[in-house]
């Protein structure tokens, strides 16, 4: 015990001891605008006051030449008044005609484009930050950053802010306005953390103001600079109302010969949020509707376990980073798709409330939702609570509680409780990152007369992480009890003990005109049943990875898999291909190619051939994109599996086609079509969105689904939706 205590004390203190000689971060003074200093937001930085504002310059490369001055320099200035923060950004470019910019849609992935990004650590605690990014077309992306075992950016957070961008013979420039209402902060603290990043895509060059080393970066507020002088700022009254109105028409056919009678619905609802303090926001939602949410990507599941699908509903995405619990170990005591969804089918949410924010050094999150009846499904009450206390310089200790109460007496009230500890330092032996995480989650009986023990209804584990470059390593251990089934969580597999280390080496080749980086990796997974017998053992060796100066990537890997199957497995869930109990040894390989994302035509393709139960599987996964001109993006995805078994052979096909055209960052149209030969269903989703003003959006959505019967496809469901959401702030 003494040894363990001493280790933890050393771990918590090593950042101070080892970092005594660390380089001090840069500082930038924010300029307070006077009443007579007018600001015309057009991206040109031609107002006289900008000449008085201190600039952040001297950006250095993270790649390709770590620590060298950027080949194209950048200047960032920050000003503010009572209600808004303003950034003036000048991005010099000696060849402005070669600037890469394909994307216009908000939150589009910007690995295709030249980009400017920045973070605001408004609490100056080096643990969390608001993340913003723009491109030369004025595209805006944002998110909330949370550090820990690997940084987590909740990119589905949408702040209300605005960017104006212009291009000239010197490069491009931008003016950005962020209302203080959009941010949570401590008004008594005049110093924030801040950092800036720029990519020059044609050179594959990444530059930063601070934290330019490869084991640092924009996602590490620990390595950010300081923004000084933010005094006398406020959020106003702090009231935000988001009403919506919706009209929809749905036609559903119960069988191929049944008529499709239209059902028309008009509805209204919304959210009301209030900033109790600048750090703490309370909100309520009534008659919540998610008709505008993106459809799920269809999956063909040939595994024994369910697949986790991402959350896409805005109410649950806002503040989702607060509810993260040991995310690298995936105990998932809270999974928001368990609320208001049943097998992907929406369940009406009558009302709900949430409280998200910070009290001193403690992050808190609380969620209460009431769902209504739907057919034979009874109404339910869901409660989720999360507390995360900051300790030491970069570490946290937290707790989580969930409760699910189903109407009627068929199920008891089901409660889940958990605790997690994360000890982190970015000063390990001077400037290395080192992290430790441990957790425990348990829950009450899942049904009446459940006699299982808490050990069977719980999970526990730990993880050591060394996320650095060129060496990156980790080792984790976890146990999932045989009866672990959190009522508001998600778990694909239970009843196992799992040891999983990995090690990778990724050196840069600074003098090669062809290659940018080499990589090797060994991944090992040893998963045992609770009686310690091996159940799944995986070896994956990346024998060679090549990242070229062009941005293209080529990886070669060898695979070995051991599986102990203790039940008869029906692969396609149709009784045709049954795999008997036994031990299976599988060997194979994979080849992965990824083209540079800034190309007009390119993609990603992975070919895997490996033993598969009593035979083998050839798996091809491919995504091909085309960008013939700015604003138009088309992607075709194809997943093909060719399986040969002693029991027979079969093939699966999954096709997705997605095309979108963005008229501007504010107006876009998207069309998505999906088909797979297992369900033999075709589904289309068409979405038109118009951001009338930041926070005010009109959606037009149409869904159309066909099912194959015999030799023809029959329309089984159509749905058309018109929704207007408006944001009022006071």
Residues 285-342 have pLDDT tens digits of 888 777 666 667 778 888 888 777 777 777 787 777 889 898 888 899 999 889 988 8
Residues 469 and 508 occupy one common structural domain: no
Structural domain includes residue 678: no
The whole-number pLDDT of residue 188 equals 84
Residue 381 predicted with pLDDT over 70: yes
The whole-number pLDDT of residue 148 equals 62
The whole-number pLDDT of residue 185 equals 86
Whole-model pTM: value is 0.83
CA distances from 578 to 118, 190, 585, 643, 651 (A): 53, 66, 17, 13, 16
Residues 512 and 610 occupy one common structural domain: yes
Structural domain includes residue 315: yes
Residue 175 predicted with pLDDT over 50: yes
Read off the pLDDT of each residue in 159-178 and give the average, rounded to a whole number: 94
Residues 30 and 78 occupy one common structural domain: yes
Read off the pLDDT of each residue in 263-288 and give the average, rounded to a whole number: 86
Structural domain includes residue 363: yes
The whole-number pLDDT of residue 480 equals 96
Q: How many domains does the chain have?
A: 3
Residues 364 and 331 occupy one common structural domain: yes
**Which of 24-33, 389-398, 528-537 shows the highest mean pLDDT?**
528-537
Lowest model confidence (mean pLDDT) among 327-331, 420-424, 455-459: 327-331
The whole-number pLDDT of residue 357 equals 85
Structural domain includes residue 278: no
CA distances from 452 to 458, 484, 497, 623 (A): 11, 10, 18, 46
Read off the pLDDT of each residue in 518-524 and give the average, rounded to a whole number: 97
The whole-number pLDDT of residue 292 equals 65
Structural domain includes residue 559: yes
| Angstrom distance (rounded) from CA 630 to CA 484 | 50
| Angstrom distance (rounded) from CA 432 to CA 10 | 15
**CA-wise closest residue to 179 among 108, 225, 263, 235:** 235
* Structural domain ending residue among the three candidates 199, 228, 257: 228
Structural domain includes residue 284: no
Residues 500 and 426 occupy one common structural domain: no
We report the CATH number of the domain holding residue 76 as 2.60.40.1190
Residues 426 and 516 occupy one common structural domain: no
Residues 167 and 64 occupy one common structural domain: yes
The whole-number pLDDT of residue 220 equals 87
The whole-number pLDDT of residue 159 equals 84
Tell me: the pLDDT tens digits for 658-683? 999 999 888 999 999 999 999 899 99
The whole-number pLDDT of residue 39 equals 87
CB 497 within 8 A of CB 532: yes
The whole-number pLDDT of residue 6 equals 40
Question: Is beta strand 74-80 parallel, antiparallel or unpaired with respect to 192-200?
Answer: unpaired
CB 526 within 8 A of CB 539: no
Residue 729 predicted with pLDDT over 60: yes
Segment holding 326, helix H or strand E: none
Residues 202 and 335 occupy one common structural domain: no
Read off the pLDDT of each residue in 482-488 and give the average, rounded to a whole number: 95
Confidence of residue 68 (pLDDT cuts 50, 70, 90): very high
Check whether the bond before 470 is cis (ω within 30° of 0): yes
Residues 169 and 33 occupy one common structural domain: yes
Residues 353 and 394 occupy one common structural domain: yes
**pLDDT above 70: percentage of residues in the chain:** 95
* Structural domain ending residue among the three candidates 637, 659, 681: 659
Residues 341 and 465 occupy one common structural domain: yes
Read off the pLDDT of each residue in 101-112 and give the average, rounded to a whole number: 87
Q: Which residues pair with 263 in a beta bridge?
A: 250
Confidence of residue 3 (pLDDT cuts 50, 70, 90): very low
- Which tokens go with 244? 């919506």
Question: Is beta strand 225-228 parallel, antiparallel or unpaired with respect to 27-29?
Answer: parallel
Read off the pLDDT of each residue in 370-379 and give the average, rounded to a whole number: 88
Tell me: the pLDDT tens digits for 601-633? 999 999 999 999 999 999 999 999 999 888 899
Lowest model confidence (mean pLDDT) among 271-280, 312-321, 328-337, 428-437: 312-321
* Structural domain ending residue among the three candidates 602, 633, 659: 659
Residue 216 predicted with pLDDT over 70: yes
| Angstrom distance (rounded) from CA 524 to CA 500 | 6
Structural domain includes residue 399: yes
Lowest model confidence (mean pLDDT) among 16-30, 337-351, 676-690: 16-30
Structural domain includes residue 2: no
Tell me: the pLDDT tens digits for 223-251? 899 999 998 887 777 788 889 899 989 99
Residues 473 and 502 occupy one common structural domain: no
- The mean of the pLDDT values for the chain is 89
Give me the domain span that covers residue 323. Answer: 308-445+456-484
Phi, then psi, of 604 in degrees rounded to 5? -130, 135
């Amino acid at each position: 015990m003494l040894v363990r205590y001493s280790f933890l004390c050393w771990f918590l203190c090593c950042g101070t001891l080892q970092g005594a000689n660390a380089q001090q971060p840069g500082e930038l003074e924010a300029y307070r605008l006077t009443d007579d200093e007018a600001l015309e937001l057009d991206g040109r930085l031609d107002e006289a006051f900008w000449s008085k504002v201190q600039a952040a310059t001297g950006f250095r490369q993270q790649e390709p030449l770590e620590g060298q001055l950027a080949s194209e320099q950048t200047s960032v200035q920050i000003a503010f008044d009572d209600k808004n923060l303003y950034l003036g950004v000048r991005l010099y470019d000696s060849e402005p005609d070669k600037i890469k910019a394909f994307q216009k849609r908000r939150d589009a992935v910007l690995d295709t484009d030249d980009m400017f990004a920045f973070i605001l650590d408004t609490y100056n605690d080096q643990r969390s930050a608001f993340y913003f990014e723009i491109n030369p077309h004025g595209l805006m992306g944002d998110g909330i950053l949370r550090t820990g075992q690997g940084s987590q950016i909740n990119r589905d957070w949408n702040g209300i802010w605005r960017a104006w961008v212009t291009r000239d013979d010197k490069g491009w420039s931008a003016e950005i306005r962020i209302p203080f209402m959009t941010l949570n902060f401590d008004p008594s603290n005049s110093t924030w953390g801040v950092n800036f990043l720029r990519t020059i895509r044609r050179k594959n060059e990444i530059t930063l103001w601070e934290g330019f080393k490869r084991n640092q970066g924009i996602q590490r507020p620990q390595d950010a600079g300081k923004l000084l002088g933010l005094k006398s700022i406020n959020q106003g009254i702090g009231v935000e109302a988001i009403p919506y109105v919706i009209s929809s028409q749905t036609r559903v056919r119960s069988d191929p010969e049944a008529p499709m009678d239209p059902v028309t619905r008009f509805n209204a609802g919304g959210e009301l949020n209030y900033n109790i303090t600048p750090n703490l926001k309370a909100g309520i939602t009534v008659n919540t509707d998610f008709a505008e949410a993106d459809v799920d990507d269809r999956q063909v599941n040939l595994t024994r376990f369910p697949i986790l699908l991402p959350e896409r509903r805005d109410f649950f995405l806002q503040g989702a980073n607060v509810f993260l619990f040991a995310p690298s170990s995936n105990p998932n005591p809270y999974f928001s798709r368990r609320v208001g969804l049943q097998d992907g089918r929406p369940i009406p949410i009558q009302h709900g409330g949430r409280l998200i924010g910070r009290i001193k050094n403690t992050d808190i999150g609380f969620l209460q939702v009431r769902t209504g009846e739907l057919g034979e499904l009874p109404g339910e009450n869901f409660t989720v609570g999360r507390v995360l206390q900051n300790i030491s310089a970069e570490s946290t200790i937290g707790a989580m509680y969930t409760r699910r109460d189903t109407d009627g007496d068929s199920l008891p009230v089901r409660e889940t409780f958990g605790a997690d500890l994360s000890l982190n330092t970015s000063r390990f032996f001077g400037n290395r990152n080192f992290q430790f995480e441990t957790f425990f989650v348990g829950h009450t009986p899942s049904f009446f007369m459940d006699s299982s023990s808490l050990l069977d209804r719980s999970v526990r584990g730990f993880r050591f992480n060394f996320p650095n470059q060129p060496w990156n390593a980790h080792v984790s251990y976890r146990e999932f009890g045989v009866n672990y089934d959190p009522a508001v969580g998600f778990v694909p597999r239970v009843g196992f003990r799992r040891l999983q280390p990995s090690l990778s080496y990724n050196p840069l080749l600074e003098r090669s005109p062809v290659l940018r980086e080499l990589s090797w990796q060994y991944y090992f997974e040893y998963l045992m049943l609770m009686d310690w017998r091996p159940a799944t053992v995986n070896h994956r060796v990346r024998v060679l990875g090549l990242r070229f100066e062009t941005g293209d990537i080529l990886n070669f890997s060898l695979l070995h898999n051991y599986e102990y199957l203790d039940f008869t497995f029906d692969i396609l869930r149709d009784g045709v291909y049954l795999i008997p109990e036994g031990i299976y040894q599988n060997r194979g390989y994979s080849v992965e190619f990824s083209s540079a994302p800034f190309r007009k035509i390119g993609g990603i393709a992975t070919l895997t051939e490996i033993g598969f139960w009593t035979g083998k599987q050839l798996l091809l996964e491919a995504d091909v994109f085309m960008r013939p001109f700015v604003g138009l993006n088309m992607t075709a995805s194809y997943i093909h599996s060719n399986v040969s078994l002693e029991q027979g052979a079969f093939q699966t096909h999954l096709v997705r086609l997605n095309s979108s055209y963005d008229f501007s960052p504010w107006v876009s149209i998207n069309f998505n079509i999906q088909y797979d030969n297992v369900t033999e269903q075709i589904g289309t989703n068409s979405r038109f969105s118009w951001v009338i003003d930041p926070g005010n959006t009109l959606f037009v959505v149409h869904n159309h689904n066909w099912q194959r019967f015999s030799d023809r496809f029959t329309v089984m469901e159509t749905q058309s939706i018109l929704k207007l959401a408006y944001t009022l702030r006071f």
